[in-house]
Amino acid sequence: MRNTAAGAEPTAPKSAENEGVRLGTHEMRSERRPARATTAQRLWRSRRVVFGGTVLLIICLAAIFANQIAPADPEMVSMNDRLVAPTWFSHGWKFCLGADPLGRDVLSRIIFGARISLLVGVTAVGLSGTVGILLGLLAGYYGGKVDETIMRLADIQLAIPTILLAIALVGVMGPNLRNLIVVLGITGWVIYARTIRGVVLSVRAMQFVEAATALGAGDRRTLLGHILPNLWTPAIVIASQQVGFMIIMESALSFLGLGVQPPTPTWGGMIADGRGYLVTAWHVTTMPGLVLMTTVLAVNFFGDGLRDVLDPKFRL
Amino acid sequence: MVAYVLRRLLLSVLVLFGVSVVVFSLIHFAPGDPARLLLPDGALEEDVAFVRKALGLDQPLYVQYKVFITHALQGDLGQSLYYKQPALGIILEHLPATIELTFAALVFSLLVAVPMGILSAVRRDTVWDYLGMGLATIGQATPVYWLGLMLILFFAVQLRWMPASGRGGVEYLILPAITLGAPLMALVTRLVRSGMLDLLGEDYIRTARAKGVAEWGVVLRHALRNIMIPLVTVVGLQFGALLGGAVITETVFAWPGVGRLVVDAITARDYPLVQAATLLVSGYFVLINLVLDVLYVYLDPRVRYS
């Protein structure tokens, strides 16, 4: 059964079945396009996936090899170099994007800052996805009181603006990397739970599930073996679109001083560092913001492309 | 219809009750003793014990919650530790500024996004479409606080067209409203565009065209009307994000609203104020959604009869 779950993404027939399950258009689609490309081929053909993926890959590599490629120590204070303006490569890599109010190299801090953004973005999505998928699965499968309870919990969570809840929680629990990931992880589950619940409801009514139940499959087997494999596509699509949101949330909390604490470089923290120097040193605020925006753009491109390929009807 | 509104009302009360539990639990998420959270670092053990007893933190949780909710229902949301005043009064003082900002942002985003979305759909694959979609894509990827700082940099510092911070006349409202409204604008543009594209292929649109309705009449009278329903849904859901964004926007522009109050309160470890503000902002959000739910009845006759 595990094999079916893992094989759900790369092979075409299975993914076509996924769409068929969600949309009931299986036959129609295969009639229109008799020779279907595999999912991998379609992903490779998607300009958005390739463009977003390439930019992301570069940022990931920069984060991983930060020690090797950063021109300077990101935490080394040098008061002589306070707010040095960008030298635009005329003096090599160091200070090519200028220095911050403590004379630290902005480029190096951006490179190291990528680590926090990517780490928090991916782990928070992993955590919220796991919680959300599990709750959505339970709500959709068991229905009744379980469903009612989980969906009311979702309503309550939605009633509190996410960033407000995150600010309050991080403020109380103490700002550090672990708390940041936990808080973003637990505040982000609703979108998964609601979507997955809907998919489970439609899958549960399908005949193959009925057949499995009739053949004596227990809850566990039906859920994990027959229903779960059909949830991967929507789950991957939501997750890919949530990474950008989580990266923005992390940076916003860091901007407010509630993220990973200085001197560790974070993009949000760097933007906050430059706030007081907009008039004299615009680069301190502008540079990390541009990189942050590019990263989120790349993630969103990738996510949108992925959605178009995997699940074309699933929009907004 | 009365039953529908009553059901919505009941659900809102239930949600608010749940929110109150979350808000109440907030200080219990602190590692260690919540009483210590309310005191400065290195407070003496007897002071901690005193605070614990004075605030009833030594009581069982359900007793504490009962006291909390009873007081809250009577309009007592606790005392701000920093201002040494009732939290409710302080928040109510700051609430009008937040309401002003969120509504200005909402109006701005709709005024830009709806025409832009329509134009993108009607003139599909032209420069207008690319412009609209480009703005929407960038708008969704730009962190609100950074956009705010960039707007300050250009319009306040460089061009000196607008004040950089504070609250006053309309000129103070423009930059914060654009900042806060940008993500919603991006989302609504996409929604209106894709909604329009779907609708323009519908049979009744073809009928309207066939009977000779002018193109703008088709778009405005027949298609736009049907966009309103998903639009109201999205605005309702996104109003929470708008309120969350207000927390950050207010901090960037030194806008004297509830959002900035919360951030300052967190820094000052004024947790009763944080709790009260979270409760009230969530209440405001729930109320907005209740109003929108009732609005549905007028927008979508199907709701009235189901």
| Secondary structure of chain B in HEC code, one letter for each residue | CHHHHHHHHHHHHHHHHHHHHHHHHHHHHCCCCHHHHCCCCCCCHHHHHHHHHHCCCCCCHHHHHHHHHHHHHCCCCCECCCCCCEHHHHHHHHHHHHHHHHHHHHHHHHHHHHHHHHHHHHCCCCHHHHHHHHHHHHHHHCCHHHHHHHHHHHHHHHCCCCCCCCCCCHHHHHHHHHHHHHHHHHHHHHHHHHHHHHHCCCHHHHHHHHCCCCHHHHHHHHHHHHHHHHHHHHHHHHHHHHHHHHHHHHHHCCCCCHHHHHHHHHHCCCHHHHHHHHHHHHHHHHHHHHHHHHHHHHHCHHHHHC
Residues in a beta bridge with B103? none
In tens, the pLDDT along B169-193 reads 888 999 999 999 999 999 999 999 9
**Which of A159, A282, A289 faces B15 most closely, judged by CB atoms?**
A159
Residues of chain B with pLDDT under 50: none
CB B145 within 8 A of CB A255: yes
Of residues A95 and A108, which shows the higher confidence score? A108
Q: Would the CB atoms of B190 and A271 count as touching at under 8 Å?
A: no
Q: Would the CB atoms of B29 and A172 count as touching at under 8 Å?
A: yes
Q: Which residues in chain A have their CB less than 8 angstroms from residue B266's CB?
A: 167-168, 171, 258
Residue A167: pLDDT band (50, 70, 90) is very high
Residue A194: pLDDT band (50, 70, 90) is very high
**Which of A164, A172, A173 faces B247 most closely, judged by CB atoms?**
A164
Q: Is the pLDDT of residue A244 over 50?
A: yes
What pLDDT does residue B260 have?
93
What pLDDT does residue A35 have?
59
- Please report the DSSP string for chain A in residue order: -HHHHHHTTTSHHHHHHHHHHHHS-HHHHHHH-SSPPPHHHHHHH-HHHHHHHHHHHHHHHHHHTHHHH-SS-TT---GGGTTPPP-TTBTBSTTTT-B-TTS-BHHHHHHHHHHHHHHHHHHHHHHHHHHHHHHHHHHHHH-HHHHHHHHHHHHHHHHS-HHHHHHHHHHHH-SSHHHHHHHHHHHS-HHHHHHHHHHHHHHHTSHHHHHHHHTT--HHHIIIIIIGGGGHHHHHHHHHHHHHHHHHHHHHHHHTT-SSPTTS--HHHHHHHHGGGTTT-THHHHHHHHHHHHHHHHHHHHHHHHHHHH-TT---
Task: Tell me the residue length of chain B.
Answer: 306
Q: Exposure pattern of B214-251 as b/e (b: 16+ CB <10 Å)?
A: eeeebbeebbbebbeeebbebbbebbbbbbbbbbbbbb
Contact residues of A toward B, CB < 8 A: 152-153, 155-156, 158-165, 167-169, 171-174, 244, 248, 251-252, 255-258, 268, 271, 274-275, 278-279, 282, 285-286, 289, 292-293, 296-297, 300, 315-316
What pLDDT does residue A9 have?
37
Interface test with A, best of B258, B266, B270, B274 (most A CBs within 10 A): B266
Of residues A192 and A78, which shows the higher confidence score? A192
CB B276 within 8 A of CB B88: yes
Q: Would the CB atoms of B278 and A164 count as touching at under 8 Å?
A: yes
Nearest CA in chain B to A304: B137
Q: Is the pLDDT of residue A5 over 50?
A: no
Interface test with B, best of A152, A163, A271 (most B CBs within 10 A): A163
Of A2-16, A234-248, B246-260, the least confident: A2-16
What pLDDT does residue A110 have?
95
Residues 269-288 (B) with a CB less than 8 A from some CB of A? 269, 271, 274-275, 278, 281-282, 285-286
What pLDDT does residue A312 have?
62
CB B223 within 8 A of CB B208: no
Pairwise CA distance, residues B51 & B42, whole Å: 14
- Residue B241 contacts by C-beta under 8 Å, 6 or more apart in sequence? A161, A162, B183, B184
Mean pLDDT of A161-182: 91
The pair of three-digit structure tokens given for residue B143, joined into one six-digit string: 């962190």
Pairwise CA distance, residues A82 & A283, whole Å: 12
Q: For the packed helices B170-199 and B87-122, what is the interaxial angle rounded to 10 degrees? A: 40
A263 prior amide bond cis, ω within 30: yes
Q: Is the pLDDT of residue A4 over 70?
A: no
Nearest CA in chain B to A271: B146
Q: Would the CB atoms of B281 and A285 count as touching at under 8 Å?
A: no
In tens, the pLDDT along A26-50 reads 444 444 555 567 888 888 888 889 9
Pairwise CA distance, residues B275 & B261, whole Å: 12
What pLDDT does residue B208 have?
85
**Which of A255, A278, A279 faces B145 most closely, judged by CB atoms?**
A255
Mean pLDDT of A121-146: 94
Pairwise CA distance, residues A218 & A105, whole Å: 60
Task: Measure A163 CA to nearest chain B CA, in Å.
Answer: 5
What is the interface pTM, i.e. ipTM, of the complex? 0.89
State the greatest distance between any 2 C-alpha atoms of chain A, in Å, as a whole number: 77
In tens, the pLDDT along A59-72 reads 999 999 999 998 88
Pairwise CA distance, residues B294 & B299, whole Å: 9
Task: Tell me what percent of the residues of chain A surpass a pLDDT of 90.
Answer: 52
Q: Which residues in chain B have their CB less than 8 angstroms from residue A258's CB?
A: 266
In tens, the pLDDT along B19-75 reads 999 999 888 887 777 777 777 777 888 888 888 888 778 888 888 899 889 998 898
Q: Would the CB atoms of A158 and B240 count as touching at under 8 Å?
A: yes
B182 shares contact with chain A (CB less than 8 Å): no
> What pTM did the predictor assign?
0.87
Q: How far is CA A257 from the centre of its chain?
A: 22
What pLDDT does residue A11 have?
37
Q: Would the CB atoms of B143 and A289 count as touching at under 8 Å?
A: yes
What pLDDT does residue A13 have?
40
